[in-house]
Amino acid sequence: MLSLVLAARFQKPWPIVAGILVATLANHALAGLAGNWVRSVVPEDVLRWLLALSFFAVAAWALKPDKLDDDDAPPASRWGVFAATTVAFFIAEIGDKTQIATVMLAAQFESLIAVVLGTTLGMLVVNVPTVFLGNAASARIPFRLVRIVAAALFAGLGVWCCSRRTSADDAGLAGIIKHLSDRRP
């Protein structure tokens, strides 16, 4: 939604796309580092269930349409289109679905670079056409269907996390309870 507002307001697609790229790389790199940290401190068997629950939560969240009030649009600034887009997108992505998904994926997979590049590519696949096609595309994009497909993908990742075996002796809730009880002095 923000990319559509920026495209309509500034009508300069290349600096907008560049700003989206820089903001997303920075935001997702920080999210990926947070995910790597979580993976290093949370036991594997506990992490599996936390990730599954998180993916199910994001699946439900994906069904809720994004909304952007007119007051949320960045004003034209002396910094220019690139800087305004970079700052607006970085701030807008804090705590957003894609940032949460990046944290979860980085907690699941060891390659920080692959996670950040993959989630950034996903953001660009969605936002670049929106910037270039603007209002004409927004009328034709079946946003409800896009939300349903995204929710199904996140739910599928949740199911996949549930079905994975960990290296712990016992998987599942019993394994978590055993792990927690083994840690007591």
Q: Per-residue confidence of the chain (185 residues) as pLDDT tens digits? A: 788 778 877 888 999 999 999 999 999 999 999 999 999 999 888 888 888 888 888 788 778 876 644 444 455 556 789 999 999 999 988 888 889 999 999 998 989 999 999 999 999 998 999 898 875 665 666 767 877 887 888 788 888 888 876 554 344 444 544 555 555 45
Give the span between the Cα atoms of 84 and 66, in whole angstroms: 20
Q: Check residue 146 and give its pLDDT.
A: 73
Whole-number pLDDT of residue 143: 67
Length of the chain equals 185
Q: What is the DSSP secondary-structure string of 57-87?
A: HHHHHHTSPP---GGGSPPP-TT-HHHHHHH
DSSP string of 87-102? HHHHHHHTTSHHHHHH
3-state secondary structure of 122: helix
